[in-house]
């Protein structure tokens, strides 16, 4: 299978490219910047330009779409929204016109409204599953929520010829970037509260993207994907009661178990987290 990976030079995208190549996929990496290490064929593409996307996605069998401004911090809201929405629309328009049957859309836990909301988000229950209401406020969360709507619209348009898997990831890290950030958060739980203390290793992102390419999915399906634990040493139930007292605890939380329920991903995709900060080599 020949797969186009947008955002292939980025933190998560480079892990996806490497993993898919190791699994025998033929990869074309699509990004506006060249990769740090040349591990696959690549195209320098502005995904907000539909013509460039058409050209880069010729003769591929599937697309993994990661390209986006990943947080509304270093860009103005209109830049975040316009870039992310136009890139997503163009990917799906290309998939429709070029008759590419599978798109894996990298969405976000931000469809809940977290972690960049202007006002506090009221959670109904924990752990979070796919049935929990969405409440985007900021440009990034809105772009990811509407990105899933775009996916659904193109599935509707293509009437069985296109299937889309949306993967809602939390904070994405690799050991080198994460270890330096954890100790301050252990001392200040409030610093991670709007992320629900959730994270995922880039290698598990890559695994989830591969499983989404291979899954027997028709139409559009969305999944929360995370590590099996939080990035805290404190018990998750203690944190939940302290910072989200309005949320009911729907099932017993064991230790620092993740506050995202990935049961649907396990059942439908076969996803099981493989990597934990607790297994990193600490110096």
What's the average model confidence in pLDDT over 54-67?
98
Query: How would residue 37 be classed by pLDDT, with cut points 50, 70 and 90?
Result: confident
Domain total in the chain: 1
Which residues, other chains included, contact 209 with Cβ-Cβ below 8 Å and sequence gap of 6+? 16, 19, 20, 64, 104, 106, 167
Tokens of residue 196, six digits: 């629900």
- Per the structure, the complete domain to which residue 57 belongs is given by 2-279
- pLDDT, residue 263, reads 98
Tens digits of residue pLDDT in 61-110: 999 999 999 999 999 999 999 999 999 999 999 999 999 999 999 999 99
Q: Closest Cα partner for 167 from 117, 111, 248, 239?
A: 111
Q: Closest Cα partner for 230 from 253, 212, 256, 262?
A: 256
Query: How would residue 26 be classed by pLDDT, with cut points 50, 70 and 90?
Result: very high
Residue 30 has pLDDT above 80, yes or no: yes
Residue with tokens 């739980």: 189
Q: Closest Cα partner for 208 from 60, 112, 107?
A: 107
Tens digits of residue pLDDT in 174-232: 998 888 889 899 999 999 999 999 999 999 999 999 999 999 999 999 999 999 999 99
Q: Is 168 left (phi over 0), alpha (psi -120 to 50) or beta?
A: beta
Please tell me the distance from the alpha carbon of residue 272 to that of residue 27, in angstroms, as a whole number. 24
Residue 282 has pLDDT above 80, yes or no: no
Mean pLDDT of the chain: 96
Please tell me the distance from the alpha carbon of residue 166 to that of residue 104, in angstroms, as a whole number. 6
The CATH number given to whatever domain includes residue 214 is: 3.40.50.720
Query: How would residue 10 be classed by pLDDT, with cut points 50, 70 and 90?
Result: very high
Residue 161 has pLDDT above 90, yes or no: yes
What's the average model confidence in pLDDT over 257-272?
98
C-alpha pair distances (Å), 165 with each of 25, 102, 129, 156, 180? 18, 8, 16, 14, 32
166-190 CB burial, b ≥16 within 10 A, e <16:
bbbbbbbbbbeebeeebeebeeebe
- pLDDT, residue 283, reads 63
- pLDDT, residue 40, reads 86
The more confident residue out of 162 and 181 is 162
């Amino acid at each position: 299978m020949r797969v186009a990976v947008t955002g292939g030079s980025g933190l998560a995208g480079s892990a996806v490219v490497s993993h898919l190549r190791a699994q025998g996929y033929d990869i074309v990496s699509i990004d506006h910047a060249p990769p740090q290490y040349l591990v696959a064929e690549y195209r320098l593409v502005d995904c907000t330009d539909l013509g460039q996307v058409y050209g880069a996605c010729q003769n591929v069998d599937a697309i993994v779409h990661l390209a986006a401004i990943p947080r509304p911090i270093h860009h103005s809201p209109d830049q975040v929204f316009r870039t992310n929405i136009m890139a997503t629309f163009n990917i799906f328009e290309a998939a429709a016109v070029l008759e590419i049957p599978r798109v894996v859309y990298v969405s976000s836990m931000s469809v809940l409204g977290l972690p960049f909301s202007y006002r506090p988000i009221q959670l109904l229950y924990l752990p979070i599953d796919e049935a929990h209401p969405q409440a985007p406020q900021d440009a990034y969360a809105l772009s990811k929520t509407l990105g899933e709507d775009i996916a659904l619209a193109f599935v509707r348009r293509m009437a069985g010829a296109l299937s889309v898997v949306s993967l809602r990831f939390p904070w994405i890290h690799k050991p080198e970037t994460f270890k330096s950030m954890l100790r301050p958060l252990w001392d200040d739980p409030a610093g991670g509260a709007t992320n629900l203390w959730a994270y995922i290793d880039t290698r598990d992102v890559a695994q989830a993207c591969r499983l989404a390419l291979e899954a027997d999915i028709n139409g559009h399906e969305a999944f929360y994907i995370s590590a099996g634990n939080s990035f805290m040493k404190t018990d998750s139930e203690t944190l939940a009661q302290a910072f989200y007292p309005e949320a009911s605890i729907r099932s017993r939380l064991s230790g620092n178990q993740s506050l995202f329920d990935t049961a649907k991903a396990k059942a439908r995709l076969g996803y099981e987290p493989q990597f934990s900060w607790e297994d990193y080599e600490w110096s």
